[in-house]
Structure 1
Amino acid sequence: MYPRKFYFHLVTATVLIVAGSGIVVTTPISVAKKTNINNQNAENTKTATSIQDVVRLHQEAIALSRQSKFQQAQQKLQTALSISREIGDLSLEAATFNNIGRVYQQQGQNSQALKSYLQALVINKELSLKEKTPGQAHIALGKTYSNLGYLLSTQNQPELAIFFYKHCVNNREKVRLNPTAFSGRKLDAYTLTVAQTYRALGEGLLRSDRVEEGQRIMDLIKVEELEEYLNNVQGNQRTAKGIELAPAEKPIKQKLDKTLDSAIVLGKELTKLRQIPPQQRLPQQKQRIQQLVKNQQQILEEFNNFIDSPDVKAQVEEINRTARRQNLDLESLNQIRDNLSQLPEKSVLVYPLVLKDSLELVLVTPDSPPIRRSVAVNQDKLNQTILAFRRALENPSLDVKKPARQLYNWLIKPLENDFKQANVKTIVYAPDGQLRYIPLAALYDGKQWLIQRFGINHITAASLTNFNSPPPSAMRVLAAAFTKGSYEVKVANRQLTFSGLPFAAREVESLAATVPDTKKILDDAFSLDTTVPQMDDYTIVHLATHAAFIVGKPEDSFILFGNGDRATLRDVATWSLPRVDLVVLSACETGLGGKLGNGEEILGFGYQIQKTGAKSAIASLWTVDDGGTQALMSAFYTLLPSGKLTKVEALRQAQIALITGKLPAIVQQQSRNNQLSAAIEANLNHPYYWAPFILIGNGL
């Protein structure tokens, strides 16, 4: 690029500056320097305006394309492309090529769409190579791979779609180690959201019976959902590995890399030449630009032809033949198996994936390849049954066993024989979608509840969970309760009233009687400023107060303190609780008002507690407004200090005690002392009382 030349006379002006001492001094300022500054400011202003113009043109083009006005949309995008090149913004140029590809794809012009996506890919690949730490260029590169994957999936090329979707995931997971990069400039240049890409990849892998790879992406789906809900979710070395390419995919990868490398070399020279204003380009420079464009198009055309070549078709057949049978040495899967094998009870990991027309189940055991079972139930029917089950759970007068049995048939029965062969004692469960709103413990097999057969340990994602950290040797409990008064809380444009919990004081008293080393905090003393700083001095933090996990933003979900203070879900992550083994929220609620979302708020709560350093949490999916919570918690804390039971097993035994009515003697005495009514005590076997409580995190 030739530098711009400025011609001026050197003139010196004198400006009077009054210093703080009152002395007048003179300072010469070069007019040449001032002129350069003014020119730079003007250039910056022009660039900022140009960027705004490009963003506006993109928005207008997308709106036009949705109205099927494709020619006008392309005209807008071609103008945006020219402006992007004029200001030398390669990221905007790549985004524009992505949108050009989208418009071509909407018209069914798939070959043109592919060429446009590949042009975007070359630019984003070049930009990503310049990043010392993976950041926004890697994100954009990944999203362009997603566009390519979606295009190929619409052309009934699922294996190639999987190949490109994997590249989207792998680039994005690298960035998760530097999560602030996700907050950068975004343009609507991508056909699928990232979460949709992850799910499309998971569906493609499972449909192809590539279960080991499917398990991996099912785990990373949870991580991406957390990112979309909470933002800036920090990854780790396990997530950063992404998803491994199958051996049969690697020749395609080599050809793609070679194509991109060749095109990038040409692209760098092309970018430099285009930075010269058109009116200042020499004839040979104009000719070189034309030649470079032609050469780059030829390279991309070769790859386009390669995609449809007999070589690739043969490679795809090889993927079909071998990928589902290959024992991929997935380090992340081996680590999960190792973790499961070290747990004291025989444990397995169960992932459901809710798809539009099926429910996919993946089972991971310590000593066998992952197992996939597909259930023919569509998403609408599944969600309707979940809602019916949820309503019956919250109302003891309704028949809960019918939906409980149906959900058992869909979620557990397909895996029953696998459970028997693995001699399963504990299910480590990573629910998906609206399954997060119901307790697996309350599924019914026709004879007994699932909790009577298995311990159940919920997790956010295996790659974010440390299963094997042992509990502390001695229990010290901080027990706080909101027992009287009421507070008006505005949540998502609704005014809600939260009143003190009548049994909360007795719950805390019972806990203190069971665990001698317990500190009690009630009502006004139970404030944000006084309670949070004390938490890390204890191994268990028990909060008998309202907490609401509400569909919407993290700021809408909160924990209510006894003096009316609130900590939002986002606030919770700022707590430092590395020495806390367990956080218990005994009166929290999800699905408030009957509105079920996708369960991100429950997933988010588990992650935020984990982020504090605390090893696990117990939360309730609905509030039990009577002595049922007190009875269950008393049983739990009676069983836990023995040191013979894990947290998962202690919770399970407490729930079974309510089901069978065989409460520990000390709990029966406390119930009599607290005048727990005979009617309530008789009905504690209904899952309304014992089923809402789920353990999330490390269940040891």
Structure 2
Amino acid sequence: MILLTRLFSIIILACVSIDGESLSNFNLIQAGTSSDRDQAATTQTRKDKRNAADQLLAEANQLDKQGPAVAEQMIVKARQALGLWRELGVQSRQAEALHLLGNAHGYLNRNDQAMTFYRQALSIRQRINDRPGQGATLGEMGWISLLQSRNDKALDYLGQALAIFHSIKDRSKEGNTLNDLGNVYYRMSRYDQALGRYEKALAIRREVGNRAGESSTLMNIANVHYSRSRYEKALDYYSRSLAISRELKDRAGEADPLNNLGNVYFRLSQYEKALENYSQTLVIHRELKNRSSEGSALNNMGEALEQLGRYDQALEEYRQALSIRREIKDRYGEAITLNNLGEVNRRLGNYDKALEYYRQALSIRREIRDRIGEGDTLNNIGRGYRASKQSEESIRSHQQALSIAREIGDRLGEAAALNDLMLVCRDGKKTRLAIFYGKQSVNLYQEIRGDIKTLEKESQQSFIRSREDTYRNLADLLIGESRLPEAEQVLGLLKQEEYFEFIRRDATSAPRAGSTALTSEEAVIQKRYREISDKIAGIGAERGTLLDKKTRTSTEEQRLVKLEADLVVAGQVFQKFLAQLEAELSNSSETTAKVFYLRESQGLMEDLREMGHGAVALHTLVTDEKYRVILTTPDIQKGFEYPIKAADLNRKILQYRQVLQNPKLDPLPLARDLYKILVEPVAADLKAANAQTLMWSLDGALRYLPMAALNDGEKYLVENYRITVFTPASQARLKDIPGEHWRALGLGVTKSHGERTPALPGVLQEMNSIIREDAARKDTPAGTGILPGTIRLDEEFTQTSMLDGLRQRPSLVHIASHFQFQPGNETSSALLLGDGTFLSMAQIKVLPRLFGGVELLTLSACNTATGGSGATGKEVEGFGVLAQRQGAKAVIASLWPVADYSTKYLMQEFYRLREADAGLTKAEAIRNAQLKLLNGTVVVNEQSQQATRQIIQEELKPGDDKMPRFKSDPNKPYAHPYFWAPFILIGNWL
């Protein structure tokens, strides 16, 4: 009972409280009932807000996939979403919205604003430990830092992102980040590191099926190959990237490989094709409202227009590009455009303005550590200094550029710097140094050509065409130094194909006129000189007539005494001429030696009388301003000259040699031109002296010219005279009487020993037609050759067998093989032996009296008469001269790669004529053999005719179509000097 009361009391107390505290409680209860209704409403509002925020984020994410074109819409959606998520207090979603705002501003190149949003997003994601989100934002911060040229920051952010994605095993994001790291390293010109990241990224993107990412990385790999001048690989990777982007209908992805394909075509000098690609790229970037890429496309179009010579249009494109790049703070792009503005102004002759643009570009490139760009700008600064005649500053800039190019493996940049150094040194008369730089540049271009050899022909030709000036400038320097074989080799490198597809004895085929006006002073001197010279000629001719008489009257004796006294005076005048000549050329010790040799030539007069056969000597001397020739007969010496610069004469010689080596071109125009310069001044005196055998002592580049192939307008010189060459090495043995009948040693190669030494099928027939084997050789049937002797072919032709054969002191040694000629290099210039080894000129030089007792050494191989100059300018002897020093009394050698079949006929006819008539001189025998080829009286078999037709029908190389064609006569298949003129007789011609 008590308990119940107590309980009741409590209830009463509770009820009493209604008027006081309980009223409050009541009110609370009533309010709670209303709050439930409000809470339901609030819950519904939060749900709506969340749904709205989710929807806005989803829409922003969808817009994010569409890129720059919808960036402004994306900003609106992301801002609205951010506001809602802040109201809702959801930090992860706030971070996502901030990240999207960063992306949108990045698309619009508002990079500073983008970084602000990314930092806010990163701060939240770090606070809530959102590892995937941190990685994503760090990756974007790295990308923006790259765009701002803050490369160290970019590497830091991306490195952090990569570590996160790797730790959480997000392969897709790991691949993306590796790709971006590659981009940073690429921007820093650290190509090996870039390629390593790209290759890892490509593997991951293929693994996860990210086709768009695969396209992007393929393009980036192509960029590395492009920067290293590996254009074939670059085109391949760009094309693969473009194909994927088009397959995915990804316009943004399509633009970049299109642009970069344009870059490759630009490098290959296909500027119209490059411009077409850039224009397509510009359309896409404007469509997508991508300002950064729009600036790049405008800049690239400017570069193509500049190369096409459309400078006003180029400047306009550059100005637009510069404005955009400064607006978006693209320092890398700004430097490129500043550099290009400098280039156009330099081309227009505005050197000060050009240098100012270059300096601005250089400052930025050093600031952002763009090494390849720094090298490019330094090269351009060097060109600006060169144009304004500041050579020392120019050299300094180019050397800095060269150092950078070598450091980063930029072969094209290295070649460009070397080319520019060649030009500056040429301007400063530092010729040997200029040649050195030029050769290095050409070799680099050749290396790059090798890398693009499988590209379409147009691309290969376009690449070399744009660098042709480097080759020609180097060749011109070599020509000026009388280093014609080297010049020919350099020019030969410009050929896209061999002139002829036929067998030649050439182990190293290169991939391959009005007179000068005189000053009044010169005219006076020349007139006096002519008067003295004519007087000397008259005295000498009269004296010679009297000396030829077996008996003379007393009056004639007195006249002879008087004439000899007059000749003494004339000789003194001649000596004075030589002294003046020596003074004129006092800067050259080599020329002084030549003048000394000319003085000693007076001792030849009596030798000429003893040799007979109408022999006269012609000593030539090429000086900077004149060509001089001294005629020595048994009776007189007389000097002649022709005003022409040495460099101009050398160019004519080189041009004629190129025509001579192409039987499709007419040799007569140049043959007549050179005759006028070299022979016409002395022609009348040759006729007056009844000259029949011309013994030429040839100076400088004249050594590479077949004098027999000069033409007076009606006939070649060989049709009027016997032509021989003599040197100091041969002079002591000029009068030696040869044996009536010869015994021969034949050494030859018929088999191929690799691509550079093809088989020579004509050698076997050549040897068998010349030499009949000894009866002692039972394994060989009796031969039908002209001369008795021994033949050693292929495996039997070794260094040991050659030395054994030479110890037997044969009268004739006939060698038919390949000769590997390297101008100016005795070690690399070598004769191919039958076992596939080479015997170099350096080795031959040290073998004691190798050809002692040999009356005639015939080198039926290519380029055996030519020598050259080493790097110091010192003359390097040709094989022919070296053989004379080693004991051979006479040498037949060649001036260019010879045709196999025509050589066989020439040699066979030469030996047949010489053996048939013991009184016939070697000079007359080789002349008659040449005339038989020239006139078509040699019997030619069908196989040889077919090979010759193939030579003549070959297509002309580029540029040859401007030259007159040779009209071939099927009845005279070897009438072109290419076939009969390469072989010259050096030394004893009796």
- Of structures 1 and 2, the larger Rg is shown by 2
Asked which structure has the greater RCO (Cα within 8 Å, sep 6+), the reply is 1
Q: TM-score, normalised by structure 2?
A: 0.36
